[in-house]
Chain A
């Protein structure tokens, strides 16, 4: 079946622009996660949804970052007034139930802020 998909795969934004990154999880997966991966580092947790409820947003680096999953399936990560330090790969993952089990990752969106 289809895996987790993300769009766009690449995004170049000028500093100060707003961006929206989309994640389509595996159908039927309850949990959805966003991670940020800087070059040469491991992914760092941003936020987590169970269905449409955002249960943990402790990893969002600033109030410029906002995520939503209004119908419990597709999710959008929005970054307002992008800064150069926001340049990274943004990974989305989903899991069938809770993260006590494996997570399935999408290919990521590479964001470059110039």
Chain B
């Protein structure tokens, strides 16, 4: 399988706490994207970070990228019950390929 790895596979926290998810990928990338998937809904794009960026923020989301370690992390601050979902990282390989390579996902549960 080409898929990257995310850890943890599952995470359960209380509302108001922060959630951190990590992702590793295998090849040199053009960019890395994070998506959320709720049951019954499609994947929703959250944030994109380019290979020459190290950190990016969007609302309660903070993404970091370490290309030397081929890893990324997604931090969700002040979590809400509505953040309960599966989170996937997806890497766009450098070199002209148009396909996203997804990780296996982290299942986040935020308890009210």
Contact = CB atoms under 8 A, between A and B. Distances in A.
Interface stretch (B59-67, B70-78, B93-101): B93-101
Contacts of B92: 99-100
Given A4-B42, A105-B44, A41 B99 contact: no
Q: How large is the interface on B (under 10, 10 to 19, 20 to 34, 35 or more residues)?
A: 20 to 34
A55 interface: yes
Contacts of A103: 43, 45, 100
Contacts, number: 66
A91 B42 contact: yes
A18 interface: no
State the majority secondary structure of interface residues on A. Answer: loop
State the majority secondary structure of interface residues on B. Answer: strand
B30 A44 contact: no
Interface residues of A, number: 30
20 contacts: A4-B42, A31-B98, A41-B104, A42-B90, A42-B104, A43-B88, A43-B100, A44-B3, A44-B102, A56-B97, A59-B99, A91-B43, A93-B43, A98-B98, A99-B98, A102-B33, A103-B45, A105-B42, A105-B43, A108-B42
